[in-house]
């Protein structure tokens, strides 16, 4: 599998090591360039969100299979730094850097207070003319987003 968004991200990161990072592909959600990647001394899940024609923003799947084969959201208890979500639209490119705490606060991962989600939408700063719900979501995601191009 190619990881075009990760490659692009690393080429823009002036602090990135010239050595390619350790990467473990996740077969579930492979349409989203899913993997676990080691950046410096931390492990991050990565996803490339997909632009959908019917709604603004971009969508990504974020689940795994349990021992019974059912799809389940990621757990807030995982020993992982968080999730990097790459967003691309035309020449625009950015990354959401959701820490494990941020994922828990957003209700993405399972915890005592949330059942978690198997997918969600992200709204980069370039998304405009959003409905009120999407505007609220964009506001709570804003601190995690960086425009790179």
CATH number assigned to the domain comprising residue 61: 3.40.1350.140
Distance between CA atoms of residues 101 and 28, nearest Å? 23
Distance between CA atoms of residues 127 and 139, nearest Å? 11
What's the confidence (pLDDT) of residue 53? 86
The closest alpha carbon to 83, from 56, 109, 55, belongs to 109
Distance between CA atoms of residues 26 and 4, nearest Å? 15
Contact 11, 40 (CB under 8 A): no
Chain centre distance of CA 67: 24
Low-confidence ranges of the chain (pLDDT < 50): none
What's the confidence (pLDDT) of residue 15? 67
Total number of domains constituting the chain: 1
In the sheet that 50-51 helps form, which strands lie side by side, from edge to edge?
A: 50-51, 58-61, 119-122
Write out the residue range of the structural domain in which residue 134 sits.
Answer: 4-147
Distance between CA atoms of residues 32 and 26, nearest Å? 10
What's the confidence (pLDDT) of residue 20? 77
Distance between CA atoms of residues 120 and 7, nearest Å? 23
């Amino acid at each position: 599998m190619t990881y075009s968004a990760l490659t692009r991200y690393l080429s823009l990161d002036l602090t990135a090591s010239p050595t390619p990072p350790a990467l473990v592909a996740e077969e579930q959600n492979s349409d989203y360039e899913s993997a676990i990647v080691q950046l410096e001394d931390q492990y991050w899940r990565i996803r490339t969100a997909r632009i959908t024609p019917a709604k603004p923003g971009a969508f990504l799947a974020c689940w795994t299979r349990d021992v019974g084969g059912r799809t389940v959201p990621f757990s807030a208890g995982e020993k992982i730094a968080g999730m990097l979500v790459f967003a691309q639209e035309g020449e625009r490119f950015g990354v959401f850097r959701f820490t494990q705490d941020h994922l828990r606060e957003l209700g993405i991962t399972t915890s005592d207070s949330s059942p978690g989600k198997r997918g969600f939408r992200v709204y980069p700063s370039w998304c405009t003319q959003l409905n009120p719900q999407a505007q609220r979501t964009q506001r709570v995601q804003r601190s995690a987003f960086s425009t790179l191009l």
